[in-house]
Every structure is written in structure tokens, then in C-alpha cells.
């Protein structure tokens, strides 16, 4: 319960008044289960604050709304940006998959998105 309380505290902040930490705010809002406030803010703010991490979080928010097509486009956009970084990345972080997996219960939504993440499949799950 303590973590949820901390997410609520972060989610209460106004991201427009913050110079940095936007990704922490978006993640906190998503973890509370309603992506709408985060998606609303991201719609206006991604052009200025469009880091790969915020784009991934936006994709997770759209996956929470079961919009696989938009989530896919955002994940691909984040990967394209990360390919130009050093070291270049071809896949999204496993931690972000774990976040998506914890917030989206529907396998029909998750399965097509899994290939964008660096996940090692094992026999034990």
C-alpha cells in the first residue's frame, strides 16, 4: 500500500510546473490505473518533452486503453530514437514490459506488443 500512496503523491503534482521528472509523473499516474490524465498531458507535451521514455509510457497508456495500433506506433517511434543513441538499442527495456504487463490484463492487447521489448523467454515463464 505504501507504494500506491507515493504514486498518489507524485500524481498530485502539476507536471507543467516541473522542469524535469515528467516520466516519473506519467508512470505514477499510469500505476494508479487510469491513463487518462497522463494521456491528456502527453498529447500536448510530447512535442516538447518527447524523450524515448515518455513515448514508451505513452504507448503503455494507450495499451491500457486497448489501442494496440497506437501503442505499436509509439513503441516503434521510441525504438527509432534509441537506435540513434549510444549505445544504440534495438528493443525497449524489460522493466517497461514488466510495467505494461502489470497494468494491462488482456493478453490480446499485450501479445502483439511483446516483440518490441527485450524479453528473454524461458520454459519457466
* pLDDT tens, residue by residue, 12-54: 888 877 777 889 999 999 999 999 999 999 998 888 878 999 9
Instruction: Give pLDDT, residue 3.
Output: 81
Q: Name every residue whose Cβ is closer than 8 Å to that of residue 28 and which is 6 or more positions away in sequence.
A: 6, 7, 8, 10, 11
pLDDT tens digits for range 62-113 = 999 999 999 999 999 999 999 998 888 999 999 999 999 999 999 999 999 9
Predicted structure pTM score? 0.89
Strand partners, 30: none
DSSP 92: B
Amino acid at each position: 500500500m505504501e507504494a500506491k500512496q507515493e504514486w498518489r503523491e507524485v500524481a498530485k503534482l502539476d507536471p507543467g510546473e516541473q522542469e524535469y521528472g515528467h516520466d516519473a509523473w506519467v508512470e505514477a499516474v499510469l500505476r494508479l490505473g487510469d491513463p487518462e490524465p497522463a494521456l491528456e498531458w502527453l498529447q500536448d507535451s510530447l512535442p516538447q518533452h518527447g524523450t524515448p521514455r515518455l513515448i514508451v509510457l505513452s504507448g503503455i497508456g494507450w495499451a491500457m486503453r486497448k489501442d494496440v495500433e497506437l501503442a505499436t506506433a509509439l513503441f516503434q517511434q521510441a525504438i527509432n530514437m534509441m537506435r540513434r543513441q549510444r549505445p544504440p538499442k534495438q528493443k525497449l527495456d524489460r522493466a517497461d514490459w514488466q510495467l505494461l504487463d502489470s497494468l494491462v490484463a488482456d493478453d490480446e492487447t499485450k501479445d502483439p506488443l511483446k516483440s518490441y521489448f527485450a524479453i528473454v523467454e524461458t520454459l519457466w515463464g
